[in-house]
Amino acid sequence: MSIKEKEEEIVDEFAIYSDWMEKYEYIIELGKDLPLIDEKYKVEEKLIKGCQSQVWLHAEKEGDVMKFTADSDAIITKGIIALLIRVLNNESPADVAKADLAFLQEIGLQEHLSPTRANGLVSMVKKMKMEAIQNA
């Protein structure tokens, strides 16, 4: 499945929720289900410090594709990480680098990627792309 197709799938999943709180219940669930980052990567150099919440990101290239694992101390941040990883995992570095992640806008979660939120997510996306570029 391409990045675009995965994004469309997520948009469809969210379409059934008419209420914000339902939407967030689903995000919280995703956050709880997010496979945890290997403890050995939960170190200072993998840490992306936000003002509000923090994110740990580990990226590597496996064969031709990028593999990401991440974690956060906030569950909503984790839920959004789960979505980002689902979209960008197993994709080529070139595709990761040019992904516009427009689905976040469509499902109404772009506010979490606004720099004013300072939750580490903006920097995380930047870092995912940087890692992809370095591995291209």
Residues annotated as catalytic are 51
Site string for other proteins, 34-73 (x = CB under 8 A): -----------------xxxx------------------x
d(CA 134, CA 136): 6
**If binding is defined by CB under 8 A, does position 74 make contact with other proteins?**
yes
* Of residues 124, 98, 129, 94, the one with CA closest to residue 112: 124
Residue type, position 107, single letter: I
Distance (Å, whole) CA 105 – CA 111: 8
Instruction: Please give the residues from 94 up to 133 whose contact with other proteins meets the rule CB under 8 A.
Output: 112, 118-119
**Piece of the chain touching other proteins by CB under 8 A; list 5-13, 37-45, 74-82, 125-133:** 74-82
Among 69, 77, 90, 135, binds other proteins (CB under 8 A): 77
β-strand partners of 48: 55
